[in-house]
Amino acid sequence: MKDKLGATNALYPLVTAIVGSTVEGKPNFATVAHVGIASLKSITVGMGKDHHTNRGIREHRTFSVNLPTEAQVEVTDYLGMASGAKVDKSGIFTVSYGELGTAPLIDECPVSMELRVIEHVELPTHDLFVGEVVATYADTAVLTNGVVDLAKLKPLLFDMGSRRYWALGDPVAKCWSVGKDYGPLS
């Protein structure tokens, strides 16, 4: 028997990302853990409308998603507290650009993606941007056979309930495999 908690969002943990855009000609970044995947090639980011970074996404219809590591927890947390409207965050990282030209890629993060906005849903308080992944970049150090290896990446997971970042644990089982004898498939 479960307890009723009210209308609490319990979809945690989610992977912590640093979202980048170009605002007034300069790169700006915000830490966002309210992210998700919409389809194989597209990503959602839900960001309060007053975020400075949103301005750049609305203007250029491009953004970057960069994945920080456990070792980068301090700067990641800082970027979730300091607003680009008050603090110039353009010098915190070394920035590169890929195909889109306005999606600032963080060199210090081992994984970066550049995205083009394909849908912009205006919720009452939030912009929900759906971005198509145009290109993905990763440090060789976090790859195994050309694929991002989460055990090497050590991503930061976010949980609102505990107000903490969490580490990833160990593999549990293979997908599309461990359950194949649980019941009939057709």
List of residues 6+ apart from 4 with CB closer than 8 A: none
The residue among 41 and 101 lying less far from its own copies, judged by its C-beta, is 41
Amino acid at 18: I
Q: Which of 65, 95, 100, 117 binds its own copies (CB under 8 A)?
A: 65
Site for its own copies in 146-165 (CB under 8 A): 146-150, 155-159, 161-165
Minimum distance between the CB of residue 105 and its own copies, rounded to whole angstroms? 8
Reduced to 3 states, what is the DSSP secondary structure of residue 58?
A: helix
Q: Which of 58, 60, 61, 82 binds its own copies (CB under 8 A)?
A: 82
Taking the chain, what is the end-to-end CA distance rounded to the nearest angstrom?
Answer: 32
* 64: nearest Cα among 37, 82, 43, 79: 43
Site string for its own copies, 84-123 (x = CB under 8 A): --xx----x-----x--------x--xxxx----xx-x-x
Cis, bond preceding 13 (omega within 30 deg of 0): yes
Residues facing residue 65 across a β-bridge: 19, 113
Which region among 18-26, 41-49, 55-63 touches its own copies (by CB under 8 A)?
Answer: 41-49
Q: Which of 19, 43, 103, 117 binds its own copies (CB under 8 A)?
A: 43
Amino acid at 22: T
61 counts as binding its own copies under rule CB under 8 A: no
* Chain centre distance of CA 184: 36
Q: Which of 19, 24, 42, 55 binds its own copies (CB under 8 A)?
A: 42
Site for its own copies in 15-34 (CB under 8 A): 15, 17, 33-34
Reduced to 3 states, what is the DSSP secondary structure of residue 61?
A: coil
